Structure 1
Amino acid sequence: MASIHSTALVDPAAELDGSVTVGPYAVIGPRVRIGAGTTVGAHCVIEGRTTIGRDNRFFQFSSIGAAPQDMKYAGEDTELLIGNRNTVREFCTFNTGTVQDGGVTRVGSDNWVMAYVHIAHDVQLGDHCVLANNATLAGHVHVGDWATIGGLSGVHQFVKIGAHAMIGFQGHVAQDVPPFMTVDGNPLTARAVNLTGLRRRGFSAERQAVIKQMHKLLYRSGLTLAQAQQGIEALKGTQPEADGDIDSMLSFLAAAERGIVR
């Protein structure tokens, strides 16, 4: 049996692994499924059609799986999916999806989510991301793996943030942020390559050099975006171990719908 505090309210229809811990005054709804080793802190509310994986930790007072803050929402059956080993600090709000998108808000695994973070409807958050205090992701935002979003930053709806990108403190993110880049300010400006993050993740000097060249083509050469993309394509084969990074950048740029931060 799960360890459920006597003051918690857990609907009998909820599916909790026997190793789940539920703290005082938490409320868990009938359509919630929680995997092994997950801890739900005091006063958390987990509702809606919400599926949570293994070994997550939800600190006190978070609201997980509530209906989307979208005026078009009319009670459709949408869901929230959360992976494994995420840390979710105090007063976070994660909403379910909408039928205007795929109907699913998705949070990956191994993310570090600090206090007061908002993850809106249909957000797709990757793995190993860091969201600092009060970061706010509006509806339909996509965030790649290993991205970092600084405190008090706001991300506009439908924006895409590439893998390994870093958003600085109080970033006003209204356009897509390419992979590997560090951006900050209001208006948002691309500053440099996120070298600190890449080094921490074991990127070789050769891969870093190619990513620096992509940054130069995008931001320091006076090229149009189309010309920069051609230059990035031409880098393929110069350092074969970086070809995957080049493909990631080209795929991101081809899919950018709001324009990129430049």
Structure 2
Amino acid sequence: MNQPLAYVHPGAKIAKNVVIEPFTTIHNNVVIGEGTWIGSNVTIMEGARIGKNCSIFPGAVISAVPQDKKFNDEETTTEIGDNTTIRECVTINRGTKDRMKTVVGKNCWIMAYCHIAHDCIVGDNCIFSNNSTLAGHINVGDYVILAGMAAIQQYCSIGNHAFVTGGSMVRKDVPPFVKAGREPLSYVGINSIGLRRRGFNVEKIREIQDIYRILYQKNYNNSQAVAIIEAEMQATAERDEILEFIKNSQRGIMKGYFSSN
């Protein structure tokens, strides 16, 4: 860690085997775990809590104050889980009094030029491709993939195992296990490839497909579809996760896609 061309505030708590490259600045009230590598020209500001074995590439800015006019210099944090990679020029802002923290989970891969705004909670094992942007107060589940240049509106939620196609504008909540695409953003099927890769068997994938057929392809409104799913589909962890997501949605879930042909 003894890099004379980097500045590390004496109040920062840095594990002994952290590598800090030249021209990086680490402010006060920062904690960095064992085995983490921090590239050149990174800025890590007050409130950062970075886990073990992370990689942070040049130009990233972690835990800058929120881009929120309501922010009143409250003491908040940015928390990054173990084994997460943050590529070039990513910006992650710390929380406000709403949640007091911004969180990126374990084993995530945040590619170049992504932005994660204040009070976002991102789960584990997520992949955000280049230039993906999260506004404030967003919830992202585990194993979510955002393709390049996806933009998520504030207060939206994205469920576990969802896939959002490149260039998408996400204005509504995206339920678990689905693929989201087109404009306006719509249901375009379940994320069957991702689910297979993560060990979901054929029967489980078919069950999830059947649930979403009721929700999106039978011309029911959401309340009718939920009632039918509860009445006709066997109670499983996946069924209940989907139903809970729909019932708890604050912005409303994205619509189904209906062809004009």
**TM-score computed with the length of structure 2 as normaliser:** 0.96
| Equivalent position of 2:238 in the other structure | 245
1:110 corresponds to which of 107, 121, 133:
107
| Equivalent position of 1:29 in the other structure | 27
Distance (Å, rounded) in 2 between the aligned partners of 1:135 and 1:50: 21
2:253 corresponds to which of 233, 252, 260:
260
CA RMSD of aligned residues (A): 1.0
Q: Is 1:142 equivalent to 2:139 in the alignment?
A: yes
Distance (Å, rounded) in 2 between the aligned partners of 1:109 and 1:70: 26
| Equivalent position of 1:159 in the other structure | 156
Q: Is 1:172 equivalent to 2:165 in the alignment?
A: no
Distance (Å, rounded) in 1 between the aligned partners of 2:24 and 2:253: 42
| Equivalent position of 2:259 in the other structure | none
Structure 1 gap ranges (5+): none
CA displacement, residues 124-176 of structure 1 (integer Å, 9 cap, x when unaligned): 00000010000000000000000111111100000000000000010000000
Distance (Å, rounded) in 1 between the aligned partners of 2:193 and 2:142: 16
Structure 1 segment 43-54 matched on structure 2, within 5 A:
43-54=41-52
| 1:63 and 1:91 in contact (8 A); partners too | yes
1:198 corresponds to which of 169, 189, 195:
195
Q: Matched residue of 1:105: which SS?
A: strand
* Shift in alpha-carbon separation, 1:119–1:4, aligned structure 2, 3 A: farther
| 2:211 and 2:233 in contact (8 A); partners too | no
| Equivalent position of 2:66 in the other structure | 68
Q: CA deviation at 1:231?
A: 2.2
| 1:65 and 1:94 in contact (8 A); partners too | yes
Q: CA deviation at 1:189?
A: 1.4
Structure 1 segment 85-96 matched on structure 2, within 5 A:
85-96=83-94
Distance (Å, rounded) in 1 between the aligned partners of 2:182 and 2:26: 39
| Equivalent position of 1:132 in the other structure | 129
Distance (Å, rounded) in 2 between the aligned partners of 1:84 and 1:229: 37
Match for 2:137: what amino acid?
A: H
4-13 or 61-70: which moved more?
Answer: 4-13
Match for 1:63: what amino acid?
A: V
Q: CA deviation at 1:236?
A: 4.4
| 1:170 and 1:185 in contact (8 A); partners too | no
Q: CA deviation at 1:232?
A: 2.1
| Equivalent position of 2:75 in the other structure | 77
Q: CA deviation at 1:235?
A: 4.6
Query: Structure 1 residue runs of 4+, over 4 Å off?
Result: none
| Equivalent position of 1:18 in the other structure | 16
Q: Matched residue of 2:225: which SS?
A: helix
Identity rate, percent: 38
| Equivalent position of 1:42 in the other structure | 40
Q: CA deviation at 1:4?
A: 3.5
Match for 1:147: what amino acid?
A: V
| 1:130 and 1:148 in contact (8 A); partners too | yes
Q: CA deviation at 1:43?
A: 0.3
**TM-score computed with the length of structure 1 as normaliser:** 0.95
Q: Matched residue of 1:251: which SS?
A: helix
